[in-house]
Amino acid sequence: MRYSGFRVIWEALTGHKGWTPAWRDPAPQSDYDIIIVGGGGHGLATAYYLAKEFQQARIAVLEKGWIGGGNVGRNTTIVRSNYMLPGNEPFYEFSMKLWEGLEQDFNYNAMVSQRGVLNLYHTDAQRDAYTRRGNAMRLYGVDAELLGRDQVRAMYPFLNFDNARFPIKGGLLQRRGGTVRHDAVAWGYARGADQRGVDIIQNCEVTGFRITDGRIAGVETSRGYIGAKKVGVAVAGASSRVMAHAGMRLPIESHVLQAFVSEGLKPLIDGVITYGAGHFYVSQSDKGGLVFGGDIDGYNSYAQRGNLPVVEDVCEGGMSLMPNIGRARLLRMWGGIMDMSMDGSPIIDRTDVDGLYFNGGWCYGGFKATPASGYCFAHLLARDTPHPTATAYRFDRFRKGLMIDEKGMGAQPNLH
């Protein structure tokens, strides 16, 4: 079924009896050409692009729980491509371009809203660093504007401009950045993949890999053995656990990152604001809740919930940036498990096992990368060569000293 305005009106007039499930619930077949482990945003996007752009068939996505139940449903929905380094910026800009055409491409309303991402600066040194980053972005053809204090004040007059310690001196604005309805990204990719014949198999946990003579033969799952010519693992948050089944140790630690939403408020913030002096970023959802987050808790965790000291720290950051939210009540908070890679950048690469591919290490920046991650991983799975924008995301960069240290902090909590 194709979704359209006409369809909505037609269904409204006929009692909404014509809607069908957005994807099937197939039983697993005995074998597939390509199995994607992980039915999150990245896994579903991979399956979608494999079927649509790389003409692959006989694909399955195996998901331990329900699709979109992990980090794609737990993030703060921000998309942007304001990176600096050569290994990163073309990739994230590729992702941004895919976001821009995504809803038409997969015929699903993902509420892509390019409302602008503003990174504030508070010192002369920070202004210089942002100037450099903005220039690097523009060299790659990405939009970036350095705003002065008055321009920021015109956009957000309520910010704490005259804070004695961290006065706001301006900001780096990427107007094409913004927010996307995160769950709809998973659902849209799932529906698009399903329409192209991909089997999305939920409640199917991978419990092991069957490897013969250094080549992948299939996966053991909670619903039985499934054969496969190629297996792609996209399970960020649980990467170390899944890849341990293949005997691999990864340059990754799992950490918990919390996010928060306030009660619904009247329209206040029409873009995304990040605080340059603390770790705090905020946008306002269409329902009116302020959606915000801060730093990782800073210790290994698989618990999907954090502790109160970070809640206090994030709220202090919010209060010092915009004191007017002081009376707003916190509605909900939750945690997600991040693959913190050792240099803070992701991995999309082959492994030592033939036919086994890995996608992970997204730290806390995986959501914005969803379309490009799926596209590049599909490229790698289908053609066995990395996509031109993802050539730097290799396992061996740590061994060779070719780290992509955008911020140079990775998993090390005391560097954040």
* Binding site residues, another protein, CB under 8 A: 238, 240-241, 249-254, 298-303, 307, 309, 342, 398-399, 411-414
Do 173 and 147 form a contact (C-beta atoms < 8 A)? yes
Helix (H, G, I), strand (E, B) or coil at 302: coil
Minimum distance, C-beta of residue 43 to another protein, in the bound complex (Å): 19
DSSP string of 110-177, one letter each residue: ---B---EEEEE-SHHHHHHHHHHHHHHHHTT---EEEEHHHHHHH-TTS-TT-SSS---EEEEETT-
Which pairing describes strands 289-300 and 178-179: parallel, antiparallel, or unpaired? Answer: unpaired
| Residues 243/357, Cβ–Cβ less than 8 Å | no
Shortest distance, CB of residue 414 to another protein, whole angstroms? Answer: 5
Interior/surface letters 113-135, b for 16+ CB within 10 angstroms, e for the rest: bbbbbbbbbbeeebbeebeebbe
- DSSP class of residue 273 equals E
d(CA 42, CA 339): 13
Closer residue to another protein in complex, CB, 183/406: 406
At its nearest, how many Å lie between another protein and the CB of residue 402?
12
Which CB sits closer to another protein, 215 or 305? 305
Instruction: Answer for the pair 27, 204: CB distance below 8 angstroms, yes or no.
Output: no
Rounded CA-CA distance 176/142 in Å is 9
CA 195, CA 67: separation in Å to the nearest integer? 16
Q: Which is nearer to another protein, 183 or 339 (CB)?
A: 339
Residue closer to another protein (CB basis): 251 or 355: 251
Closer CB to another protein, 44 or 347, in the complex: 347
Distance CA 288, CA 285 (A): 5
CB of 57: closest distance to another protein in angstroms?
Answer: 35
Please state the closest distance from residue 95 (CB atom) to another protein, in A: 26
Residue 238 vs 404, nearer CB to another protein: 238
For the bound state, the minimum distance from the C-beta of residue 346 to another protein, rounded and expressed in Å, comes to 15
* Comparison of 243 and 290: residue with beta carbon closer to another protein: 243
Q: What are phi and psi of 127, to 5 degrees?
A: -60, -45
Compare residues 379 and 397 and give the one whose CB is closer to another protein.
397
117-121 and 272-275 as β-strands: parallel, antiparallel, unpaired? Answer: parallel
CA distances from 381 to 52, 266, 347, 386, 392 (A): 14, 46, 14, 9, 16
Nearest approach, Cβ of 230 to another protein (angstroms)?
25
Q: How far is the CB of 16 from another protein (least distance, A)?
A: 42
Q: How big is the CA angle at 307 (ends 266 and 295), to the nearest 5 degrees?
A: 65
> Least Å distance between CB 227 and another protein?
27
DSSP-assigned letter for residue 324: G
Q: Which is nearer to another protein, 188 or 237 (CB)?
A: 237
Closest to another protein by CB, 230 or 255: 255
Decide whether 238 or 273 has the Cβ nearer to another protein: 238
CB of 283 to another protein, least distance (A): 29
Report, in Å, the least distance between residue 315 CB and another protein.
Answer: 15
**Measured distance CA(47)–CA(334) in Å, rounded:** 28
**Rounded-to-integer distance, Cα 170 and Cα 183, Å:** 33
User: CA dihedral defined by 152, 155, 160, 161, rounded to 10 degrees?
Assistant: 30
